[in-house]
Amino acid sequence: MQAAGHQVGILTSHKIIHRPADLALLRERGFPEPNFYLGRALDSKGEDYAILKARAIRENGVDMHFDDGLAEQIRTELGEDAYRVIAMTPRGREDEHYD
């Protein structure tokens, strides 16, 4: 997608402090460097991830977001922009990564 001129990045419910580890994992698995990384603020506590992701999609002009767990909730938050969110099924176990 990047080779075709698209901006491809990460929108995650991980806190921003996980950015280095997340990017290292992508490199380890052979993925190209993303154009952007959007994560939760360090002081975010108790905030609804679907609301945070919907806000990030709107504020950053994300045209398409693939989500492995909150797609329906994000779509609800986005209303008429719900078409931007694509539900996907994780390929592996959630605990396969790191905390």
- Residue 3 covered by a domain: no
Going by their DSSP bridges, the two strands 36-40 and 65-67 should be labelled as: unpaired
Residue 67 within a domain: yes
pLDDT band at 93 (very low <50, low <70, confident <90, very high): low
Of residues 70 and 95, more confidently modeled: 70
CB 82 within 8 A of CB 62: no
Domain count, the chain: 1
List pLDDT tens digits, range 22-76.
999 999 999 999 999 999 988 877 789 999 999 999 999 999 999 988 999 999 9
pLDDT, mean of residues 76-85: 96
pLDDT exceeds 60 at position 99: no
For position 44, what pLDDT does the model report? 77
Cα separations (Å) of 81 from 11, 25, 38, 85, 91? 16, 31, 19, 8, 26
Alpha-carbon distance of 12 to 6, in angstroms, equals 19
Quickly state the pLDDT bin for 90 (edges 50, 70, 90).
confident
- The domain of 60 spans 9-91
55 within domain boundaries = yes
| Cα distances (angstroms) measured from residue 29 to each of 20, 55, 57, 87 | 14, 29, 26, 22
pLDDT of residue 98: 47
